[in-house]
Structures are given as C-alpha cells and as structure tokens.
Amino acid sequence: MHESRIAVVGGGVAGLTAAWLLSKAHQVTLFEANHYVGGHTNTVDVQGPGDDSIPIDTGFIVYNERNYPHLTGMLRHLDVESRDSDMSFSFSSAQTGLEWAGDSLNTVFAQRHNLFRPAFWRMTADIVRFNRLSKRYLQETPDDELTLGDYLEYTETGPALRDHYLLPMAAAIWSCPQHDMLAFPAQRFLKFFNNHGLIDLFNRPVWRTVANGARQYVRRMLPGISGGHETDMPIKRIVRTEKGVRLYGQHGELGEFDQVVVAAHADQALEMLDRPHFWEHTLLSSFGYQPNDAWLHTDSTLMPRMPRVWSSWNYLANAGDAPPAVSYWMNRLQGLPGSRDYFVTLNPEREPAPDTVLRRFSYDHPVFNTAAMRAQRMLHQIQGRDRIWFCGSYFGYGFHEDALRSAVEVGRALGITEPWTTPPELEPEGVGESIRDPGADLQVS
C-alpha cells in the first residue's frame, strides 16, 4: 500500500481516531468546524476556590471497561489515566414532589412517607418484574421491530415504573425526551440495558472517568496526525472527481484528496455531499438529532430538593408541558476537589442564576427509532464508494464507543489495524454491520 492523501471531516472521537490511525501510513489532514478538536469531549477549566484551575468535562464523562473495549484499549495504549466513577441516578418531580434515588434503601425511601404508599411499593415490585421479563424476552424473542412503547404496553408495565423510573433513566442516558424513547426499538433498548447491568441488581460494570478531563486523550492523539489539523474550518461541499474527492470550505477549494472520511453527524454528512447517490440519501436521512442546551454552573436549585438523593445523574421532571432536565453532579462523577459543587444541566426549565453560570454549550445527540436502526444495518453499502467513508456514533447506540468503533472499522478497511488489543468477548454487538469488503476500491490512481 502506498501513501495516500486523506482528509477527515469532523474532529470528534470518530474523526480524531480515524485521522490518528490512518496517519500510520498516509498523509492525513483533519478538518473541524468548531474552535476545538474533540466534539463531545469538551473539558473546561474553571477557577477553583484557590489558585488552581479545575478541569470539568461537559459532554463525554464516563465509560466502563465491559462495554467500551476500544475506548479502554485506546486509553491504555495512550497511557491516559482514569479513575473510578459511578452512574447513580435520581428522580425528582416538580409536579408531584416525588424524589428518590437508587443508591440504597435510604435513598430509595428518602421521602419516608413512601414507606407507607402502596403505589411506591408497586413501582419497586414492578422494577423487579420488568427486569425478569426483559431477560426472558431477550432470550426467547428474535430481533423484531417492536418499539419500547409497544413492549411496555404488551407487558402491562405500570405507569409509575414507566414515568418515574424507566423512561426518565432512558431519557437521561440518551439525552432526549421521553416520548422519543417510546419509539426506540425494544430489542435494542433491552440489549443495551442488559449489557450495562441496568436490569441486574448485581454484576453491574464499574464506571470510570478520565483523570484530569477527557481532553487528555485528545492531547495525546493530535500530534500523531500526519498532516495536521485545522479548526474553525467547516466543510461546505464534498465533490467527487475522476481522480479523487475535492473539499470546499467557506472561502473556496481546500484541495483534492485520494480518500475522504466523513466523521460528522449523519444529517451534517448528507448536507455536505454534493449530489449524494440514492443509498447515501436514503440511509443518512434516516437519522434524526436532538439538540440539547448544556449549562456548566454552580446553581444547586437545579438539583433535587433533598440533598440526600443527589446522584451522579439527576432527572428533573418539570411541571406542565416543559421538557425534563438532567443535572450531572460533576463532583461525584469526576471526584472534583474542593467544597464547591459543580453541575452540568441539560435543557433546564429555567436558566441557572446568572452569577452561577460558568459556560454554555449546545450538543446534538442522535435519536433512534425503527427506521434509524434499519438504516444502520445497511450503512456498509455506502462505505468506500467513490472513495468516501463514513463514521460516527450513529453507527451504534450514539455513544463514545460506537463512534470510536466505527472509526476503527474504517481504519481496518483502509489497511490499518488499531494498535490496542480488544478481547473478542468484550467486542460489543454492533447495531450496524461491519464494512464487508475491506479490499474494495483501495487503489489510488
């Protein structure tokens, strides 16, 4: 294989990994529309009570070794340190006043009157029943197109479990409204919950966070990109030519490349393509995205009212028709020093108090339904056609590992094997298919 000139469009974990891997044998340039490389890996320095700054992650925060084998392998290869974290969860409703957390009996019954409420006991019993039925469903039912909403109706799941436990937890994990979760394919949803130990009382994975912020791995990888990287460089058009692929930015042509890897969201990728062919349009248009406002702040009123139930992830059900918010307690997630509490809140009903706001961001997360999952199984059909490749979290469940794994598969298809070892038993089951023909169309004319 001789050296090719390759462009990678998008500097999130998928694009960064693809550029870093392909740089082992090719001249690679990474183009990122934002002012920083990392995408959802966005670590912010805040001034602590003393003179030291505190690095706080505002997008990607936690992982576990069981379900993130490629990320685990990559961090070890890069010699990036991590530390224990947790995925504790709480629910708080402004409308009903209900608050609980799953840490212990003390937090489950943080409101002592729930000990005497039959409805609350029914919810806890329904959780055990739901877990048992879900395991049986996964064992006995082949992959089908039943939605989560259909499954909950079929299993006669009670409204308390649905509205005060399952959908809030799912909406917090996928950063999307509850009604969108009801359209999630049940088989994929339950597989995810099972793989992550969320329908087990025991044998749950140990969660970890990158020490000193997730940007540590970004800093280790950037120097390894052979052709460098460009920030504040949005790509406006990707044009196929007879000999390669030409990129255009805000101010005109950026050059012609032998291969291009598009590591942007599916909708962004489709918008950049000049004259997309049928399958590109059909598959990439199947994925929707949920915009989320994220606030880094110190306003504790955007947490559950009872400090006893404060958890790593805190679901805040707002009154009326206002969408729910999720507050992440960064001190607990990252083990931050000092006595000041820091929070990242997605989509708060009201903005944090002005004097508590440290930063504000906007992140888009993929929304999965039956059409999107069906499209995932066919994404291999557009890989490498006309020298254009695709990767991103939409190739899986929408998480860091999915984005990274999709980049690894592009690297393998272009003849580059990742330098870390992933035990076969830790390879997560992909939602989409792998690239089927790694030898197709790799010769550069």
Greatest Cα pair distance, the chain, in angstroms, is 75
Say if residues 256 and 58 touch (Cβ distance below 8 Å).
no
Say how far residue 342 (Cα) sits from the centre of its chain. 21
Same domain, 201 and 146: yes
Give the E-state strand segments of 258-412 in sequence order: 259-262, 288-297, 313-317, 325-329, 343-346, 357-367, 388-390
Same domain, 226 and 188: no
Q: Is 431 inside any structural domain? A: no
The per-residue pLDDT string of the chain (445 residues; one tens digit each, 9 = 90 and over) reads 578 999 999 999 999 999 999 999 999 999 999 999 999 999 999 988 777 899 999 999 999 999 999 999 999 999 999 999 988 999 999 888 899 888 888 888 889 988 988 888 988 899 999 999 999 999 887 767 789 999 999 899 888 899 889 998 898 888 888 888 999 999 989 999 988 888 876 667 899 999 999 999 999 999 999 999 999 999 999 999 999 999 999 999 999 999 999 999 999 999 999 999 999 999 999 999 999 999 999 999 999 999 999 999 999 987 655 667 999 999 999 999 888 999 999 999 899 999 999 999 999 999 999 999 999 999 999 999 999 999 999 999 999 999 999 999 999 999 999 999 886 655 555 444 445 333 333 222 2
**Helix count and strand count (H, E) for the chain:** 15, 20
Domain boundary among 175, 210, 245: 210
Give the E-state strand segments of 10-130 in sequence order: 27-31, 43-47, 53-57, 62-64, 82-84, 89-93, 99-101
Say if residues 178 and 323 touch (Cβ distance below 8 Å).
no
Same domain, 232 and 125: no
Contacts of 219 (CB under 8 A, 6+ apart): none
Q: Is the dihedral of CA 303, 308, 311, 317 positive or negative?
A: negative
Locate 426 and state its tokens: 């830790």
Locate 273 and state its tokens: 């393509």
Q: Is 432 inside any structural domain? A: no
Q: What is the DSSP letter of 125?
A: H
Total domains present in the chain: 3
pLDDT at 202: 63
Same domain, 49 and 180: no
Structural domain harbouring 400: 5-63+211-286+370-426
Q: 90 in helix, strand or coil?
A: strand
Q: Is 358 inside any structural domain? A: no
Same domain, 162 and 173: yes
Q: Distance (Å, rounded) from C-alpha 377 to C-alpha 370? A: 11
Q: Is 134 inside any structural domain? A: yes
Q: 76 in helix, strand or coil?
A: helix
Half-sphere exposure in the Cβ direction for 187 (13 Å, CA): 13
Same domain, 282 and 374: yes
Q: What is the DSSP letter of 273?
A: B
Q: What is the DSSP letter of 336?
A: -
Q: Is 26 inside any structural domain? A: yes
Same domain, 220 and 204: no
Q: Is 356 inside any structural domain? A: no
CATH code, 242: 3.50.50.60
Q: Is 433 inside any structural domain? A: no
Q: Is 45 inside any structural domain? A: yes
Residue identified by tokens 């958890």 is: 311
Q: Distance (Å, rounded) from C-alpha 63 to C-alpha 430? A: 17
Same domain, 205 and 227: no
Same domain, 202 and 264: no
pLDDT at 434: 46
Q: Identify the helix (H) or strand (E) that includes residue 359.
A: strand 357-367
Same domain, 258 and 134: no
Same domain, 282 and 229: yes
Same domain, 124 and 205: yes
Q: How far is CA 147 from CA 53, 122, 309, 429, in A?
A: 46, 24, 31, 19
Q: Distance (Å, rounded) from C-alpha 352 to C-alpha 372? A: 34
**What are the strands of the beta sheet with 245-249, ordered from one edge?**
237-240, 245-249, 252-257
